[in-house]
Amino acid sequence: MPFIPHTDDDTSEMLATIGAPNIDALFDEIPTDLLIDTLDGVPEALSEMEISRLMRRRASMDGAPLCFIGAGAYEHHIPTAVWDIATRGEYYSAYTPYQAEASQGTLQTIYEYQSMITELTALDVSNASLYDGASSLAEAALMAVRSNRSVKSGRIVLAAGVNPIYEKVAAAITGGQGITFERLAMDSVTGNVDIGSLRDDCDPVAVVIQMPSFLGTLEDVDHLTDWAHVRGALVIAIVNPISLALLKAPGHWGAEGADIACGEGQPLGVPLSSGGPYFGFMTCKQKHVRQMPGRIVGRTTDLDGQPGFTLTLQAREQHIRRSKATSNICTNQGLMVTAATIYMSLLGFAGLTRVAGRSCQNTAELAARLCAIDGVERLFEGPHFHEIALRFHRPVAPVLAALAERNILGGYDLSGSDMDLGNALLVCATETKTADDITDYVTALEEILAE
């Protein structure tokens, strides 16, 4: 709470009412040998004015740099109304309840969120969110193994452009259950899957396709989806929800559509906050719903015919299934989902389309102007969404350090990734970037490379 309103007299009156001599008596069950008088390293208390000043000073240390980093976390404009509403007390403290009927407002918010996410992905059902995008891939892989029992290989095949961080997280979470991850070969020209290298004798339980890819490219999702289904594999789509305002939804990929879609929901109204919190989303076809982890909210009517909301499926570890639970790690990011629901409601599909279109245009303009500088060129040919990989004729890290000194976060250094891309940089320009911002970046890079 923002402040404690009780005076000393109020406290004394409450203690007298319950018959306690002092506050310490309320905790008399704690053994005296466990009580301490001080905490090492904890400074003296500050007044409200002093602590506010301290926190403002610390916040200012982050600065306000121009950010051209993407790689899974994106700086989009968030209308003020989103968090003005989300941080109201009745929203801010809400969480998926264990006694579902007691919190109709929370359940309706999640139901509306699920409806919007399924519409974006063109799949049948959504859960109430997951921890983050990376763990959502792990959950999708486990779900695919449970759903596709006819394939015993435990092999999950990844398209060339799947986020390498997602792969590491998924491998760490699922490795103890005999699941392995393998990557398809990359076409060095397009940065996408080398279609000519696809094998007919492959027996994966699932194929993972990221669209747009981690490198900003656009895979041939129709071909890959059909190739996977012919081999008895399920298709897991990793998608950026903003991109779905322009790109084909995973439910429409190929002849039958993807089976599961997952990804990071941060672009939908969640600010960049020093690493989180974010939230993962997941949707799937109706036939796989009983293997979906987490909670699903449904809409129904009561005995009087009034609409109501309730938890429909909740096969988590703390419920009756225990060791047979679909997941032991999934969690609902209630506050982030609330913000995302408000964000999507305010923008609508037309607003999301404008955000996606402007981001794509800004990135294209940025890349074109950067590639006009001697020593910078496109790493891959072909279409993109709002990220483009660039090749530099020198190491990228010192260039990024020099840009940072000029208050510009120049992009994501790909040279340190596991993709063996050499001196490469991934740049992103969302709708928040103006023509002047792009010019400032280009000018700074020209000067740095000329030194």
Q: Summarize pLDDT for 282-334 with one digit per residue, the tens.
A: 999 999 999 998 888 899 998 899 998 888 876 554 555 666 777 767 777 88
CA 81 to chain centre: 21
Distance CA 367, CA 25 (A): 67
Instruction: Specify the pLDDT at position 446.
Output: 97
Query: How far is it, in rounded angstroms, from Cα 175 to Cα 178?
Result: 6
Instruction: Tell me the pLDDT band of 1, cut-offs 50, 70 and 90.
Output: very low
* Residue 3 CB coordination number (10 Å): 6
**329 backbone φψ class: left, alpha, beta (φ>0; ψ -120 to 50):** alpha
Q: Kindly list the domain boundaries of the chain, sorted by start residue.
A: 66-78+349-450, 81-343
Name 451's Cβ contacts closer than 8 Å, sequence gap at least 6.
Answer: none
* 98 phi-psi bin (left φ>0, alpha ψ -120 to 50, beta other): alpha
pLDDT at residue 294, rounded to an integer: 84
Range in 96-110, 215-229, 258-272 with the lowest mean pLDDT: 96-110
Length of the chain: 451
Contacts (Cβ under 8 Å, ≥6 apart) of 27: none
CA 223 – CA 253 distance, rounded (Å):
9
Does residue 182 have a pLDDT over 60?
Answer: yes
Q: Which CATH class is domain 81-343?
A: alpha beta
pLDDT digits (tens, 9 = 90+) for 224-263: 999 999 999 999 999 999 999 999 999 999 999 999 999 9
pTM for this predicted structure? 0.88
CA distances from 67 to 226, 237, 390, 407, 409 (A): 38, 27, 16, 9, 5
Q: What is the mean pLDDT of residues 103-114?
A: 90
What integer best gives the mean pLDDT of the chain?
A: 91
| H helices present in 19-99, as ranges | 48-60, 80-86, 89-92
pLDDT beyond 50 at 164: yes
Point out the least confidently predicted range of 35-39, 162-166, 304-308, 356-360.
35-39
Give which of 354, 332, 356, 360 is closest to 428, Cα–Cα: 360
Contact of 191 with 420, CB cutoff 8 Å: no
Tokens, residue 301: 């009517």
User: What is the H or E stretch that residue 132 is in?
Assistant: none
DSSP-based three-state secondary structure for 334? helix
Between 84 and 328, where is the model more confident? 84
Residue 273, judged by CB atoms within 10 A of its CB (0-12, 13-18, 19+), counts as exposed
Contacts of 116 (CB under 8 A, 6+ apart): 341, 344, 345
276-282: average pLDDT: 93
- Residues with Cβ within 8 Å of 28's Cβ and at least 6 positions away in sequence, in order, are none
DSSP at 44: P
Distance of CA 162 to the CA centre of its chain: 14
Amino acid at 297: V
Residue 317's alpha-carbon distances to 114, 138, 332, 361, in angstroms, are: 22, 16, 14, 45
Which homologous superfamily is 66-78+349-450 in?
A: Aspartate Aminotransferase, domain 1 (3.90.1150.10)
3-class secondary structure, 201: coil
Average pLDDT of the segment spanning 34-57: 89
Q: What DSSP assignment string belongs to 403-440?
A: HHHTTEE--EE-TTSTT---SEEEEE--TT--HHHHHH
Least confident range from 44-48, 146-150, 176-180, 321-325: namely 321-325
- CA angle, corner 428, sides to 135 and 62, nearest 5? 80
